[in-house]
């Protein structure tokens, strides 16, 4: 099956167009080329490299690329691809996440629609192998700037959540906010990594859309050269317990590509016993000072606009303002 030509319903009449399964790492350069073509058109800021794909696919769970991924080619050149994976919410609902890209030069010809329908059908097969007494939903998350996707998602998808990328300039003096009494910040060392990871997961279990990450996600995080710069992190400890954290990072390749100096204040979390004491604000402001000292001129973060813990208002009070928007779309996956 692997590498074979796929039979896809509703294939558009494009000379030389074929669909096939993912063949393996040999497809990575073509995937990067498609993504790079989409970046300026769709406003995709994060760069993609073969190295990124090697790390992600090496630790991929709840997805078999050789069966769950489709590649579109014209004359043997990759022009698009799509992939599905599943995970389970605490409520028990199975979410089937769909992702993909079509090179702008090949859009408006039905290729994206054919990829979407194939990935939906494939996830229908995956769902059929799961328990019959649980709900299944298709799931797509995207920037609002992604061209043409809203039209495709009009086929039964509903927007169920909004999110922002927020930014804050780092010019001028950054206010110091003291840590709550009894807490201290320590530089993370490798023997801390697992506790830091687990504390962040615990803190997000009561958030909308949470899904328990597979163990492979931890291994992938340890190998991420952008994320694993502990000197940029702010980890608050209460004795030997992680109370809260902000794991800032700087993507220097992204900054070079986009001609800016941005650092990210992300992975912001506070465990329940330490909430409502000003800890998140103190860690955010400390993180902003660190990024400023690294020469960054702006900070950014992502936020669920409807976060019940009041994260949006907290970030606004720290000087962040919405810069980009996106949404989460879902569609019931009905089993026969």
Same domain, 186 and 138: no
Q: Which pLDDT does position 2 carry in this prediction?
A: 44
Ordered DSSP codes for 50-81: HHHHHHHHHT--S--HHHHEEEEEETTEEEEE
Under-70 pLDDT residues of the chain = 1-3, 336
Residues 119 and 177 in one domain: no
In a domain, 332, yes or no: no
DSSP structural state of residue 212: P
Q: Which of these, 41, 43, 18, 51, lies nearest to 324 by C-alpha position?
A: 43
pLDDT value, residue 10? 73
CATH of residue 169's domain is 3.40.630.30
Considering only CA atoms, which of 278, 280, 276, 203 is closest in space to residue 235? 280
Looking at the structure, tell me whether residues 179 and 304 fall in a common domain.
yes
- Please tell me whether residues 118 and 219 are part of one structural domain: no
| 224, part of any domain | yes
Domain boundary among 155, 179, 212: 155
pLDDT for 1: 42
Residue 89 lies in a domain: yes
| Domain hosting residue 127, numbered range | 17-155
For the chain, the domain total comes to: 2
Query: Do 219 and 276 belong together in one domain?
Result: yes
Residue 123 domain-assigned (yes or no): yes
Is residue 268 domain-resident? Answer: yes
With b meaning 16 or more CB within 10 Å and e meaning fewer, what string describes 12-43? eeeeebebbbbeeeebbebbbebbbbbbeebe
HSE-CB of 226 using CA atoms within 13 angstroms: 18
pLDDT number for residue 13: 85
């Amino acid at each position: 099956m692997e590498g074979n030509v796929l039979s896809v319903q509703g294939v558009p009449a494009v000379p030389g167009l074929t669909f096939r399964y993912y063949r393996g790492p040999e497809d990575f350069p073509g995937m990067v080329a498609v993504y790079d073509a989409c970046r300026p058109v769709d406003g995709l800021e994060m760069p993609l490299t073969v190295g990124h794909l090697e790390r992600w696919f090496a630790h991929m769970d709840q997805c078999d690329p050789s069966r769950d991924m489709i590649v579109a080619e014209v004359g043997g050149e990759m022009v698009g691809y799509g992939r599905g994976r599943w995970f389970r919410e605490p409520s028990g609902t199975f979410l089937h996440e769909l992702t993909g890209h079509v090179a702008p030069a090949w859009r408006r010809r039905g290729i994206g629609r054919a990829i979407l329908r194939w990935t939906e059908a494939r996830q229908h097969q995956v769902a059929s192998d799961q328990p019959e007494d649980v709900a299944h939903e298709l799931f797509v998350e995207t920037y609002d700037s992604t061209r043409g996707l809203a039209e495709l998602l009009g086929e039964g998808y509903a927007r169920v959540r909004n999110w922002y990328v927020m930014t804050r300039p780092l010019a001028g003096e950054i206010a110091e906010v003291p840590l709550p009494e009894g807490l201290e910040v320590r530089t993370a060392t490798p023997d801390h990594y697992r506790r830091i990871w687990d504390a962040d997961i615990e803190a997000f279990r009561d958030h909308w859309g949470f899904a328990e990450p597979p163990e492979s996600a931890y291994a992938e995080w340890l190998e991420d050269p952008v994320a694993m710069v502990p000197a940029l992190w702010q980890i608050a400890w209460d004795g030997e317990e992680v109370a809260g954290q902000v794991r800032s990072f700087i993507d220097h390749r992204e900054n070079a590509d986009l001609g800016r100096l941005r650092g990210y204040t992300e992975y912001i979390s506070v465990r329940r016993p330490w909430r409502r004491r000003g800890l998140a604000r103190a860690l955010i402001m400390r993180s902003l000072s660190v990024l400023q000292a690294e020469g960054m001129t702006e900070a950014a973060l992502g936020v669920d606009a409807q976060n019940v813990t009041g994260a949006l208002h907290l970030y606004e009070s720290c000087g962040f303002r919405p810069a980009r928007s996106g949404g989460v779309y879902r569609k019931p996956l009905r089993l026969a």
